[in-house]
Amino acid sequence: MNQSQAGWRRALLCARWYLKRGALLLLALLVLGSELFDSGVAHADASTTITTTVLNRSVENGKTERIPVAGVTVNITDESGAQVGTGVTNDKGIIAIDVGKAAVYTVSIDVASLPEGVSVADKEPTSRSVDFNAGVSVGAGKKVTFFLGKSTRVTKSRWSQLPQTLVNGIKFSLLYAMAAIGLSLIYGTTGLSNFAHGEIVTLGAVVTWYLNVEGPRLHLLVAAVFGIAAAALAGGLVERSVWRPLRRRGMSLTSMMIMSIGMAIAVRYIFLFYFGGRNRRFRQYVGESQKELHIGSVGVTPRDLTIMIVSIIVVVAVCMFLLKLRLGKAIRAVSDNPDLASATGIDTNKIILLVWLVGGALAGLGGVMFGAATGIQWDMGFNILLILFAAITVGGLGNPFGALLGAFIVGMATELWSWAFPSVTELKTAAALFALIVVLIFRPQGLLGKRERIG
């Protein structure tokens, strides 16, 4: 009886092992496999000349860029499927082919002839049909345009895009780090997984946007100060008026976590109610002033450069504060062990309030910079919330330096994902969440976490 039980247990353990690793492998293979079977289709139109243009289209910072793609083979077939013309695009991405008579044709691009690093954009066809009898441009010939590459905006090889990807990765890592430090410190000092942290990020951006664009039209840098202050105050206010009384009442952490979710939903829809669903931009740091500066093969807009420099300064300052100053050490002490810290005479409530203020300010700053980089949206904070949780869990819950490391890993992972799998960039958040699950399987306490935290 016992033996058979032991046998079962062994089988179960074995099965569990395979289930975990096998499922991971399967998902990875699924994504890779579909990558290999990527196929494209395009489509065209003409009078008796069909002019085909192949462009690599990308949307960068709200501006659409179109780069011609040379060397793409274009085939034209008539309704019966017989080939009536073929050609290769020139360095302007254009090929004009005379088909002789006005009829219905199908223009297609040969996916195999695409230069390395360029693929057919999602939703874009690789063949278009052309009907000379339709449309108003009689006698003018027909024009067909194929759009390629949603994310592969450079018609260079994939490897030459790597430096650019890494720079983008650093930018997003720093932005995630801003918000993640606060989230991690709050978790460390109070044990609360604050699901409303994303809304503090949004608040910073929305208040700044209001002062910059809608209200008194302050300069962005001035408006940002108020936005950050509003985010810090919101954090402090919620701590003083909600969390501290509830802690005193002895409410469990699970209840508080669920409460923070309810608050987050309510606040998020207040944003939607007043701010609307559109993506909006600040008045400064947009448009023509943002010509890319080129350093080797890497292009950076002045705005992104500013964002990176400011975040590096802030992150270093926060680290120095935590490592060197008394207050910072007190924060780390409370984060490490609240009871022990309060026994040594640290006023834990004061420290927790400070953490909310600092965490709120950092989240607000992150929101302003995120808004400058990608636009302001009512759910921008919510959209990065899970990435932030992934970052702090990967780094080790409650450890602010772990949050930095985690933000770096997650930020890099998402950008590298877009680089490695350009046809599924929308799944990059999924990639970050997937990385979270992988880390939890192999190192549940996170990279810098303490063993006892896994319980």
Partner 1 sequence: MNWGLIFSNGLYAAVSANAIGYMLVASGLNVHFGYTGLINFGQAGFAAVGAYAMAITVGRYDWNPVFSLALVLIAGAVLAAWVGAITLRLRADYLAIVTIAVAEIIRLFANSVKYTWLTGGNDGLQKFSGWMERLSPFDNNGITVWKQKIDGYRLWLLVVGWILVAVVSTIVYLLMRSPWGRVLKSIREDEDAASSLGKNVVAFKMQSLVIGGMIGAMGGLWIVLDKQSAQPGDFATTLTFFVFTIVIIGGIARVKGPIIGTMIFLFVFTFVDSFLREATKRPDPVLPRWLATDNNYGQVKYLLAGAALALLVAFRPQGIFGDKREQAFDVR
Contacts with partner 1 by CB under 8 A lie at 16, 19-20, 23, 34, 122-123, 193, 246, 251-255, 257-270, 272-274, 276, 386, 389-390, 393, 423-424, 426-427, 429-430, 433-434, 436-437, 440-441, 444, 453-455
The H or E element containing residue 84 is strand 83-88
CB of 378 to partner 1, least distance (A): 9
Angstrom distance (rounded) from CA 26 to CA 384: 26
| 189 vs 260 by CB, closer to partner 1 | 260
Residue at token pair 């309030």: 353
| 404 vs 424 by CB, closer to partner 1 | 424
Distances (CA, A) of 259 to 91, 256, 337, 390, 452: 59, 5, 24, 20, 26
Angstrom distance (rounded) from CA 151 to CA 171: 17
| 267 vs 405 by CB, closer to partner 1 | 267
CB of 92 to partner 1, least distance (A): 29
421: left (phi over 0), alpha (psi -120 to 50) or beta: beta
| 330 vs 431 by CB, closer to partner 1 | 431
| 318 vs 390 by CB, closer to partner 1 | 390
| 50 vs 206 by CB, closer to partner 1 | 206
| 265 vs 373 by CB, closer to partner 1 | 265
Angstrom distance (rounded) from CA 415 to CA 81: 42
The H or E element containing residue 303 is helix 302-324
CB of 250 to partner 1, least distance (A): 10
CB of 270 to partner 1, least distance (A): 6
The H or E element containing residue 257 is helix 253-275
CB of 126 to partner 1, least distance (A): 15
| 241 vs 289 by CB, closer to partner 1 | 241
The H or E element containing residue 225 is helix 220-238
Helices vs. strands in the chain: H and E counts, helices first? 13, 10
CB of 339 to partner 1, least distance (A): 16
The DSSP code for 292 is: P
Structure tokens at 428: 């990059």
CB of 2 to partner 1, least distance (A): 14
CB of 164 to partner 1, least distance (A): 22
| 202 vs 393 by CB, closer to partner 1 | 393
Angstrom distance (rounded) from CA 93 to CA 145: 10
CB of 46 to partner 1, least distance (A): 29
Angstrom distance (rounded) from CA 232 to CA 224: 12
Angstrom distance (rounded) from CA 177 to CA 439: 18
- Is-contact 203 230, C-beta < 8 A? yes
| 105 vs 210 by CB, closer to partner 1 | 210
What 3-state class would DSSP assign to 213?
helix
Distances (CA, A) of 34 to 37, 111, 203: 5, 16, 39
Angstrom distance (rounded) from CA 239 to CA 350: 11
| 253 vs 312 by CB, closer to partner 1 | 253
What 3-state class would DSSP assign to 229?
helix
CB of 264 to partner 1, least distance (A): 7
- Is-contact 67 54, C-beta < 8 A? no
141: left (phi over 0), alpha (psi -120 to 50) or beta: left
Q: Are strands 142-148 and 49-60 parallel, antiparallel or unpaired?
A: parallel
CB of 198 to partner 1, least distance (A): 11
